[in-house]
Amino acid sequence: MPRAILCVLDSFGIGGAEDAERFGDAGSDTLGHIAEACAVGKGDRKGLRSGLLKLPNMDRLGLGAASLLSNGTAAPGLDFSGDPEGLWGYAAETSNGKDTPSGHWEIAGVPVRFDWGYFPDTVPSFPDELIAAVLEQSDIPGILGNSHASGTVIIEELGEEHIRTGKPIFYTSADSVIQIAAHETHFGLDRLYRLCEITRGIADAYNIGRVIARPFIGESAADFTRTANRRDYSVLPPEPTLLDRLSKEGRTVFGIGKISDIFAHQGVSKVLKGAGNDELFDRTLEAMDLAADGDLVFANFIDFDSLYGHRRDVPGYAAALESFDKRLPEMVRRMRDGDLLILTADHGCDPTWRGTDHTREHIPVIGTGPGIAGRGIGGRRTYADIGETLAKHLHIAPGKHGTSFI
């Protein structure tokens, strides 16, 4: 029986979304704009990278062709000649939002048709009654932050005050989220998790998708570092996902990185964590070695989004893509006869775009495996086509949404 490996390059959009204007994102293109910036030297950083964007392995499988199909513009540096060797195309999102849970759930066959609750980009961002309820039900002396912010930036700004006062840092973004940052030792990791559980219960009344624990270490603004002990407290998907359907059939679903958190720990059999893309890549290889016939390895590579997209770091994003591309042959060599590998994304986060939020874009859909012939799969009308393709490949019954492209 075949296996499947699904890799989400978090935020790696390829532009072209027909409804981008509704989100204020018309013209956004994460891949295309990174490639264009690299072509004119704006992707250079001494000691990191320079010159044209170089993604020969993904380009050979069809990334450049998918980008061109998505938005009609060739991405500089993606110039593979000849017919792509993989399955290639793009998918459009039908979910109401451009957030992480919506993208992942739709990939797993369940589009999000309802509207999430959000917090305004004001100071304070959170309603007084929400914070009052958190203070009443917990043992904290107060909170810091209470605004829209980049996690790394607000920890640098308020981390020392947090250590001094014992007040955790609350912040949000354009996503439906409450993020709580606290020091792993001075505040305590278990204490942070308990605080997030309390906040999760309070956030339900506001229809908030996730409460995220953001632990960090270090003793000053100069050396604060977020750790791999992040934990997401998500609401459950509204319907059984591909993960649930596989689990019901007795298959093992390996969740790499934050996958289990995104799906509220439902449908994931084994969790493998890692700090950063390289460790997550290693965990994915481990899972491939462990996976049996009929199993799914589902990985999220978070650095593209959290370290580079939201921080609008073009050279960093470009270097991370090139690093992933260089390692991709390791994953391909681990594949067995019958395996299917799909590379995709969950939304965009164009590092050249205004603001610091996600961007509404098409996502690439690139597939390969032993014996799989290269061909275009066109523009898919929903991310759910990915989930239904995996369902067909793994020989389970189809779901309600999406159409297989194999």
- To the question of whether residue 357 is assigned a binding role by annotation, the answer is no
Per the CB < 8 A criterion, the answer to whether 136 and 126 are in contact is no
Going by DSSP bridges, is the β-strand pair 363-368/340-344 parallel, antiparallel, or unpaired?
antiparallel
Residue 10 is assigned to a ligand binding site? yes
Three-state DSSP state, 371: coil
Q: Which amino acid is at 360?
A: R
Q: Are residues 27 and 324 in contact, defined by beta-carbon separation less than 8 angstroms?
A: no
> Cβ contacts of residue 302 below 8 Å, gap of 6+?
10, 257, 258, 277, 280
193-226 burial code (b ≥16 CB/10 A, e <16): bebbebbbebbeebebbbbbbbbbebeeeeebeb
Measure the CA–CA gap between 34 and 326, rounded to whole angstroms: 18
Phi, psi at 40, each rounded to 5°:
-110, 15
Q: Is 310 annotated as a binding-site member?
A: yes
Residue at 375: amino acid letter: R
What's the one-letter identity of residue 43?
G
How buried is 315 (Cβ within 10 angstroms: 0-12 exposed, 13-18 middle, 19+ buried)? buried
Helix, strand, coil percentages in the chain from 3-state DSSP, rounded to 5: 35, 20, 45
Show Cβ contacts of residue 84 under 8 Å, excluding neighbours closer than 6 positions: 60, 61, 62, 64, 65, 374, 376
Residue from 30, 4, 3 nearest 347 by CA? 30
Could you give the 3-state DSSP secondary structure of residue 343?
Answer: strand
Q: How far from chain centre, in Å, is Cα 76?
A: 24
User: Which of 31, 179, 36, 157 shows the shortest CA–CA distance to 99?
Assistant: 179
Query: If you write DSSP's letter for every residue of 74-110 in order, what string do you get?
Result: PPTT----SS-SSEEEEE---SS--SHHHHHHHHTT-
| Cα 219 to Cα 393: distance, rounded to the nearest angstrom | 49
Which residues are known binding-site members? 10, 305, 310, 346-347, 358
Which residues are known binding-site members for Mn(2+)? 10, 305, 310, 346-347, 358
